[in-house]
Amino acid sequence: MTPRTPTTAPAGTATPTDSADAAIRAGQLRTDDAGSRLTLERHVRDTDRAVALARDVVTGLTSIPRALPPKWFYDATGGMLFDEITRLPEYYPTRRERAILDRHAGDIAAACPADTLVELGSGTSTKTRLLLDALRDGGSLRRFVPFDVDEQTLARAGQGLLAAYPDLTVHAVVGDFERHLGRLPAGGRRLVAFLGGTIGNMRPAVRTEFLRTVRAQTAPDDALLLGTDLVKDPDRLVAAYDDGAGVTAAFNRNVLTVINRELGADFDVRGFAHIALWNAADSWIEMRLRAVRDQRVSIDALALTVDFERGEDLLTEISAKFTPDRLDAELAAAGWATAQRWTDPDGDFAVTLATPSSHPVAAPI
């Protein structure tokens, strides 16, 4: 689970001018347009999002077994629910990763004294400030490149960072992992951060393609910083995705609310039970919505009718968990070499620094 939550500008933070807004609508906000150090480069528009949602819903609900990608959890309500999830006692990953960065951000900056920090799936850039602070304190930081699908979040977070880091320039990229990684700005020594365990939401072949795409753009001195959840007791894993307060259940069902609102569907949201289970064969958690009765769902915008039988599942998310050996093998298959790894004291979560290798090796078995 990874958030894509709109945020509000901090008090006293400047907002783009009318001319800057026009530049944003045109597709790109340059520093000379706004009289600031912020560049906002847009490759995803509202119409792209609508088309993508329609495509994913048609594909996912007409396939067997049925499945939806987890990115559609994150409207404003989904973002707030995920924020609440991160504070639940059962949900350890956010706290463990934060603890690692609190303790080792300086070590990371020393190992890769980058002048450019790139963050994929940036959101509000909260944890990223630990890395920005460490790179700044080391004297190398010049530029921050946040990459996310939510334009409003990037613009407002970027403005907040400019206020906090007077010598920083921000080049925000509004894009989709599946299509726009090649649009990341080049130049300088770059540390590319992909945190939160988000890579676990990808299936193995997609993970490898993602890592290879990032690798293809990197220079020899660049590095990748990857956050991953580690394999542990299945009971703890399931509890992290099925909390006693029911917050994760509400988060899971929210994808149906999004489809109802944006595509004119009539899902009975309470007609689906939240299910979290451990898939030992694939080493991942699965979140599902299970129909509690037979029902027919109409989706007006797609002229589509879908029948669910009682007990039928709709897969909404996978969250892969890794062993160090498996992670090293997957990185190597995509052309990366593990340089350093840090874990929390309990060994629940890992942050791995990887550097470009000469050539990818055979894919892991």
HSE value, Cβ hemisphere, 13 Å, CA-based, for 8: 4
Q: Please report the pLDDT score of residue 355 as a whole number.
A: 97
Q: Residue 224: phi, psi to the nearest 5?
A: -115, 130
Q: Please report the pLDDT score of residue 49 as a whole number.
A: 87
Quote the CA–CA distance of 47 and 44 in Å, as a whole number: 8
Q: Please report the pLDDT score of residue 29 as a whole number.
A: 45
Quote the CA–CA distance of 223 and 328 in Å, as a whole number: 15
- 226 touches 351 (CB < 8 A): yes
Q: Please report the pLDDT score of residue 178 as a whole number.
A: 81
- Reported pTM: 0.88
Q: Taking phi first (over 0 means left), then psi (-120 to 50 degrees means alpha), and beta for anything else, what does residue 257 get?
A: alpha
**Before 345, cis peptide (omega within 30)?**
no
Q: Please report the pLDDT score of residue 123 as a whole number.
A: 66
HSE value, Cβ hemisphere, 13 Å, CA-based, for 318: 18
Residues of the chain with pLDDT under 70: 1-35, 123-125, 359-365
Q: Please report the pLDDT score of residue 82 as a whole number.
A: 92
Q: Please report the pLDDT score of residue 341 as a whole number.
A: 98
Q: Please report the pLDDT score of residue 18 as a whole number.
A: 37
Count of CB atoms situated within 10 Å of the CB of 199? 24
Q: Please report the pLDDT score of residue 75 as a whole number.
A: 87
Query: What is the total residue count of the chain?
Result: 365
Q: Please report the pLDDT score of residue 359 as a whole number.
A: 65
DSSP code per residue over 169-222: EEEEEE--TTT-GGGS---S-EEEEE-TTGGGGS-HHHHHHHHHHHHHT--TT-
Q: Please report the pLDDT score of residue 126 as a whole number.
A: 73
Q: Please report the pLDDT score of residue 150 as a whole number.
A: 82
CB neighbour burial string for 20-56, b if at least 16 within 10 angstroms, e if fewer: beebbeeeebeeebbebbbbbbbbbeeebbeebbbeb
**DSSP class of 126:** T
Quote the CA–CA distance of 19 and 29 in Å, as a whole number: 9
